Structure 1
Amino acid sequence: MKIQFNGRRALVTASTGGIGFAIAKGLAEAGAEVVFNGRSTASVADAVSRLSAVVPGATLQGVAADLSTPDGVAELVRSAGAIDILVNNAGIYGVQDFYETGDEVWENYWQTNVMSGVRLSRALLPAMVEKGWGRVVFVSSESARNIPADMIHYGVSKTAQLALARGLAKRVAGSGVTVNSVLPGPTLSDGVADMMKGEVERTGKTLESVAAEFVVQHRPSSIIQRAATVEEVASMVVYVCSPQASATTGAALRVDGGVVDDIV
Structure 2
Amino acid sequence: MRIDLTGRRALVSGSSQGIGLAIATELARSGAAVVVNGRDQAKTEQAAAGITKELPDAVVVPIAADLASAEGAESLQAEAGELDILVNNLGIFGAKPVLEIDDDEWRRYFEVNVLSAVRLIRMYLPGMMERGFGRVMNIASDSAVVTPLEMVHYGMTKTALLAVTRGYAKAAAGTGVTVNSVMAGPTHTPGVEDFARELVGDDLPWDEAQRQFMREHRPYSLIQRLIEPTEIGNMVVYLSSEQASATTGGAVRVDGGYIDSILP
Q: TM-score, normalised by structure 2?
A: 0.96
In structure 1, what is the equivalent of residue 160 of structure 2? 160
Cα deviation 1:53-81 (Å, max 9, x = unaligned): 00111111111111111111111111111
Aligned residue in 2 for 1:93: 93
Q: Deviations over 1:75-109 (max 9, x none)?
A: 11111111100000000001111111011101111
Number of the residue aligned with 1:252: 251
Matched residue SS, 2:203: helix
Residue 225 of structure 1 is matched in structure 2 by 224
- Over the aligned positions, Cα root-mean-square deviation in angstroms equals 1.4
Shift of the alpha carbon at 1:196? 4.6
Partner secondary structure for residue 202 of structure 1: coil
Counterpart-to-counterpart distance in 2, 1:79 and 1:161 = 26
**1:57 partner amino acid:** D
Equivalent residue letter for 1:224 = I
Instruction: State the shift of 1:200 in Å.
Output: 8.5
- Residues 121-162 of structure 1 show CA distances to partners (whole Å, capped at 9, x for unaligned) of 000011100110000000000000001112111111100000
* SS of alignment partner, residue 94 of structure 1: coil
In structure 2, give the amino acid aligned to 1:16: S
**Residues 1:68 and 2:68 aligned together:** yes
Distance of 1:66 and 1:194 partners within structure 2: 24
Aligned residue in 1 for 2:41: 41
Partners of 1:208 and 1:75 lie apart in 2 by 42
AA of the residue aligned to 1:54:
E
What is the DSSP-based 3-state SS (H/G/I as helix, E as strand, rest coil) of the residue aligned with 1:140?
Answer: strand
Q: Normalising by structure 1, what TM-score?
A: 0.96
- Flag structure 1 segments of 5+ consecutive residues without an equivalent: none
SS in 2 for 1:2: coil
Q: Secondary structure at the match of 2:113?
A: helix
- Residue 119 of structure 2 is matched in structure 1 by 119
How much does 1:209 deviate?
A: 4.0
CA distance in 2, matches of 1:123, 1:130: 13
Counterpart in the other structure of 2:16: 16
CA distance in 2, matches of 1:126, 1:89: 20
1:195 Cα deviation from its structure 2 partner: 3.3
Task: Work out whether residues 216 and 226 of structure 1, in 8 Å CA contact, stay in contact via their aligned partners in 2.
Answer: no
User: What is the CA distance between 1:258 and its match in structure 2?
Assistant: 1.3
Partner of 1:202: 203
> Deviation per CA, 1:239-262, whole angstroms, max 9, x where unpaired?
111111000000001111111111
- Structure-1 separation of matches of 2:179 and 2:37: 20
Shift of 1:211: 1.9
The residue number in structure 2 matching 1:151 is 151
* Aligned sequence identity (%): 48
Q: Paired residue for 2:83? A: 83
Provide Cα deviations, 1:174-222, integer angstroms capped at 9, x if missing partner: 100000000111100121133356879623x2x3442232111111111
